[in-house]
Homo-oligomer: A and B are copies of this chain.
Amino acid sequence: MSGNIKRAKDVEISPIPYVTLTDRVEIRLIEYLQEKNFEPGDLIPTEFEFADALNVSRNVIREALSRLKMLGYIKARKNRGMVTSYPDVMKVFGKVLDPILMSKETQLGLMELRISLEIGISDLLFNRKTPKDIQELEEILKQEIVGPTGDVSKQNNIDFHSKLFQIARNDYIQKFHVLLEQIFTCVYKLLEEKGEILRVSSATHKVIFEELKSGTADSLRKAIQSHLQPHMDIINRERKALTNKEHVD
């Protein structure tokens, strides 16, 4: 045998990524949009003009434009030309934040992000709450069916936390939460199937509600943080399990 002789097979060198013409045209088109300082609604050249200017086939142009359409940078109006547009950032986030089609590692990383975000918005919540918010949150609380260990249903949970995020009065934060919430639902479904039982924090929804209503921004934050701690524990455990698994491989 070759023993300790280093064979060609052993060379660890990452392959040169094959960059298609479409990839390059996509980049070039984004640059073009940036350079031209378009306002939303401005007409851009036609497919034929782009194809001509870049000296590529209309197919390639269309594939690149199709990508930009998906990102929302342009909108095509059938038979009338294309116009620039501000993309719907959260819509694109939604396309790629599919819990089923992401790695476990990504799921856990994003769950941690969501928890951090919820802790971080406590100041916003406190500053922007209205009497109507308090009233609506109390209504949601009344709908809750609390089990013997203080647990509530998935729907109760989603309702409560969604309302919390809504009080922050920031569409981006709110929509981001909806997307990240899906990941929780997906991951916890799997854990439940394995017989996992989530520890319930003593900082219940009711405690959070009371702090939001008549506590301080600080006490609210502590309540939220404490409420989410069991989730954080599970994420930390799962992350550790993942890392160990990697080392075994």
**Residues of A bordering B, CB below 8 Å:** 18, 22, 26, 30, 33-34, 40, 59, 62-64, 66-67, 70-73, 77-78, 86-87, 89, 92-93, 95-98, 100-103, 106, 109-110, 112-113, 115-121, 123-124, 168, 170-173, 176, 218, 221-222, 225
* A71–B95 CB distance below 8 A: yes
A87-B96, A113-B117 known; 17 new pairs, CB 8 Å cut-off, are A18-B77, A30-B95, A59-B62, A62-B63, A63-B66, A86-B101, A86-B106, A89-B106, A92-B92, A92-B95, A92-B96, A116-B121, A116-B123, A120-B121, A123-B225, A218-B218, A221-B221
Determine the distance from Cα of A100 to Cα of B172 in the docked complex, in whole angstroms. 18
- Count of chain copies: 2
Given A113-B176, A171-B109, A173-B116, A89–B96 Cβ distance below 8 Å? yes
* A22–B66 CB distance below 8 A: yes
Closest to A63 in B: B66
Determine the distance from Cα of A91 to Cα of B172 in the docked complex, in whole angstroms. 19
User: Can you list 7 A-B contacts with CB-CB less than 8 angstroms, sorted by A residue number?
Assistant: A30-B101, A63-B63, A66-B67, A70-B70, A86-B101, A89-B110, A113-B117
Closest to A225 in B: B123
B-side contacts of A115, CB under 8 Å: 120
Determine the distance from Cα of A62 to Cα of B72 in the docked complex, in whole angstroms. 19
B-side contacts of A222, CB under 8 Å: 218
* B78–A18 CB distance below 8 A: yes
The smallest C-beta distance from A160 to any residue of chain B, in angstroms, reads: 18
* B123–A119 CB distance below 8 A: yes
B-side contacts of A64, CB under 8 Å: 66
